[in-house]
A and B are shown apart, each in its own frame.
Chain A
Amino acid sequence: MKKYLFKETSILPLVGFRIIFGLLMVIGTLRFLFNGWVHQLYIQPKFYFGFIEGISPLPGNWMYLPFILLLIGAIGIVLGAFYRFSTTLAFISFTYIEVLDKTNYLNHYYFVSLVLFLLCLVPANAYLSWDSKRNTSIQKTVVPLWTIRIVQLQLAVVYFFAGVAKINPDWLLHAQPLAIWLQAYRDLPIVGDYFATSWLAFAFSWFGCIYDLTIPFFLLGNKTRPYAYFFVVVFHIVTWLLFPIGVFPWVMIFSTLIFFPATFHEKWLSKVATWFRWEKDKNILPSHYQTNKIITLFVLVYVFLQLFLPIRCFFNHPQTLFWHEEGMRFSWRVMLMHKEGFATFYVKDKNSKREIQVRNEDFLTVGQIDQMATQPDMIKQYADHLYRTFNDSIIQTSQGSFQLKNPSIHAEIFVSLNGRNAQLFLAKKHSLQEKKYTTNPQQWLAKYNSKL
């Protein structure tokens, strides 16, 4: 095992990956900036559903700063310039942005964070880079195998567990939520009628599931790789056309090139080398990699975590996972649910018996309301926020004012999941500010009836 991890292998796939991934980061960041999303998602909201208590957005336009730093880091990655600094900068700024608000959580963002973290650790600047042009002594033609395998494993984990997650009755037996999303294309010329049919949704669902489960293995095999890559391209272009998932189909299409051997990367990298007048040092020393216990341990722990996190939900009422969502994030459960909720919050004053119905728009953005209404941890966060806002506050009315002392926060929520009619998600009777949020599915949620 140890020997395997430190086997020498060409650096080229890693260098190719560095350049491609860096470019995608540059494009993704610019797209985010130009779409006005920084303002919309990180400046405009009055409240944020943070992942970590104490980490909150910078005030006002300062929120552009992490995006600028991310952009600088990403450019550094492409060029392989000040590599440790650039990768660390990109990783920290990106991850900081992502932990600010659960509303914006996407599995693909989590993927980007992980890859940036891995890039911090591997010597992807030892060839065809600004750093190695300036300081030829750092040039290497080979790297230990783990540096490439760990990125491949990361991609394989994304696909494989996305496939595992699709093995559920809604996806396989009801073609949901794809049936809902595909029928929306019923107006397309010629093919529109097919999009409205159930059988196309079934075909997509089953193909998607089998694709996700098997593609990592086909990408690993030398003979199957070209065919597998053809499917990768087709699959992701189709998802790009049909669903609003931004740059991520392209991230996957280009990232999976790391499965290709050095001979493949040599062709295009040699062109890049000529453009940038980068020359290989003639006296490049052959590297020999010693096995290293700390690295071995790190790789094992990382792999274990990546295998454990996606399956953690199986220890925790997996049959109602989509309902309680405990174990849903960081598990590559992509495109699995169409969940819509209607949440009404109430602030009750015990002394005066008065009740205030909250208009969510007064506190949250439309996107936040949409995400919060179906996710228990966000519901609890919002309830706590309402408690802090209303406790000791004075309410002005047309007949004088009254003060709220230690009010209780209630919510009545109805949720529709994967095409089912809405059912009670949270009953009004619970005082949410008294409830504890735990990693077990919350007892205060209403029971789920899966009948369609």
Chain B
Amino acid sequence: MKYYWIIAICILFSSCRDKMGGMKDDTFKKTELLSQLADNYILPEYASLQSHVDELVTSWNAFENQPSETKLDSIRAQWKRAYIRFQYVKMFDFGPGMNQNLAMSLGTFPTDTLAIETNINTGNYNLTSISNYDAIGFPALDYLLFSKNAYTDITTTLNRKVYVRELILKMKAEIDKTCTEWNTYRSAFVDGTSNASTSPFSLVVNNYIHDYETLKWTKLGYPLGANSGNVKNPALLEARKSGIGKELLRANVLALQQIYLGKGSNGKDGKSMHDYLLALAKTTTATTIETNWGVFLTQIDALPTSLETALNTDTQKMIDLYNAIHFNTIALKTDMVSAFGILITYSDNDGD
């Protein structure tokens, strides 16, 4: 009699298994995902950002030795390359990146032009203070390097020249430290597969989602006036002076897509969040997200070259993009994160 029960329960279980996990892959390992991310994406991307910033420093030194408009142009070109590269790593706001607070110190926008001018005029400032986050980094250089009379201003005002130099050197110092620390952090990182909120795997996913939502709000939502009665505000656009906002937006989306799909920056592809979803038999979620990255890129490509023009003349296209990104959050944040079973806070939890 006992055995009938056991057989009955086994049949019950196996029937459920077929329905639930027909395509499940129980052998998928998160550590492979993390190794792929670290070795073929994060480390090469940081190295690439580092070399771009090094070149920015070089071009700045050349300019300081013997200023010329051409040399300023070359600084601008280097700044642009580095800023775009930064879009590929800003979502790793944990571990070494967090130690340097890289995401904030390099990427806070809109920059506070008033604070920058005050800093320059008084010559009395502490660039590491929290209150100066919106007076430093790439966005501050957007203002300083691309203002109307940038060349004259920088070459004639010593304080201004010093300020630009200090901003560039601060960026270099922080990136150098981050790169060095990542080399040692790497081994802890690839083993950090638990779903506790402080484990590297959770940090990757939570910061990834956070970057996605930050992109939605700061690059599109705020300028569109999403939180201010839909009154547009071009002053909130990223890199407004240089007008490279669209390229930055595109780079950010490309980076998130690349990370999601496990595409290496060195050409070596590997295990990814997408694969993990497939291993969990969450095929619909996986393909929805995969498809949407392509949709966003097409939508971005359809925008005018300058986001400011887009905001003023092609507002609807920009709103459509904003909404598309907004609704994809359901698949990304709700479906994907819950399928992974990741916790978002580190206090006690009894799952009720």
Contact = CB atoms under 8 A, between A and B. Distances in A.
B150 interface: no
A356 B228 contact: yes
Contact of B348 (A106, A341, A358, A452): A106
| Residue with the highest number of chain A CB atoms closer than 10 Å, among B230, B231, B285 | B231
Interface in A172-189: 173-175, 177, 179-181, 183-187
B338 interface: yes
A338 interface: yes
Given A193-B27, A243-B351, A398 B326 contact: no
Nearest to B9: A206
Contacts, number: 168
| Residue with the highest number of chain A CB atoms closer than 10 Å, among B195, B337, B338, B350 | B350
Size range of the interface on A?
35 or more
B162 to A, nearest CB: 33
A104 B347 contact: yes
Contact of B338 (A180, A198, A202, A328): A180
A416 B231 contact: no
Contacts of B235: 398
B341 A414 contact: no
A341 B352 contact: no
B338 A416 contact: yes
Given A349-B229, A398-B233, A344 B27 contact: no
Interface in B267-285: 280, 282, 284-285
A370 B16 contact: no
Contacts of A333: 352
B193 interface: yes
A333 B350 CA distance: 9
Nearest to B233: A398
A196 B26 contact: yes
Contacts of B282: 421
Contacts of A186: 26, 28-30, 193
A452 to B, nearest CB: 7
B217 interface: yes
Interface stretch (B152-160, B219-227, B297-305): B219-227
27 contacts: A41-B347, A106-B349, A107-B350, A174-B16, A177-B341, A181-B351, A193-B26, A198-B20, A199-B13, A202-B16, A244-B196, A244-B349, A247-B348, A248-B348, A337-B351, A354-B229, A355-B229, A356-B227, A356-B228, A357-B227, A359-B227, A367-B345, A398-B231, A398-B235, A415-B334, A416-B338, A452-B19
Interface of B: 9, 12-13, 16-17, 19-21, 24, 26-31, 193-196, 217, 221, 225-235, 280, 282, 284-285, 326, 329-331, 333-335, 337-352
